[in-house]
Amino acid sequence: MTNPPGDPYQPDQPPPGYAPPPPMQYAQDHPRATLSLILGILSVVLCQLISPFAWVIGKRTVNEIDASQGQLTGRGLAQAGYILGIVGTVLLVLGIIYLIVVFVIIGLAFQSSP
């Protein structure tokens, strides 16, 4: 639809005498959302010793995002880091239990040999 000749109103502009609408403001990602994801990935792939940190940072970040009432985003990143932190911590605990069992078996083997 075209405007009649002499009509100053443009479809993309507000009518004359009205202020333009304020610019859209988008929610920002939480600053630690990406950090928790990176720590979670590193904890599972490289070093399980950082898993508890990924777990704690991820959980706190998820809670802060939920409490922000839509002001902060990045919940998916933080939740992924939180879950990977849990998985890494479980792997860390299983690894420690495995090492304890191996050392006990080695200790018993040396103890019973003449």
* Series of mean pLDDT values for 10-residue runs along the chain (114 residues): 57 68 80 94 90 95 92 93 95 95 92 70
The pLDDT score that the predictor gives to residue 14 is 61
The pLDDT score that the predictor gives to residue 35 is 94
Q: Which residues neighbour 108 within 8 Å (Cβ) at sequence distance 6 or greater?
A: none
Amino acid at 112: S
Cα–Cα distance between 53 and 63 in angstroms, integer? 15
H/E stretch holding 57 reads helix 51-67
> What are the residue boundaries of the structural domains of the chain, listed by start?
28-112
The pLDDT score that the predictor gives to residue 114 is 62
Q: Which residues neighbour 57 within 8 Å (Cβ) at sequence distance 6 or greater?
A: 32, 35, 36, 39, 81, 85
The pLDDT score that the predictor gives to residue 81 is 96
The pLDDT score that the predictor gives to residue 54 is 95
The pLDDT score that the predictor gives to residue 4 is 60
Cα–Cα distance between 108 and 102 in angstroms, integer? 10
Amino acid at 79: Q
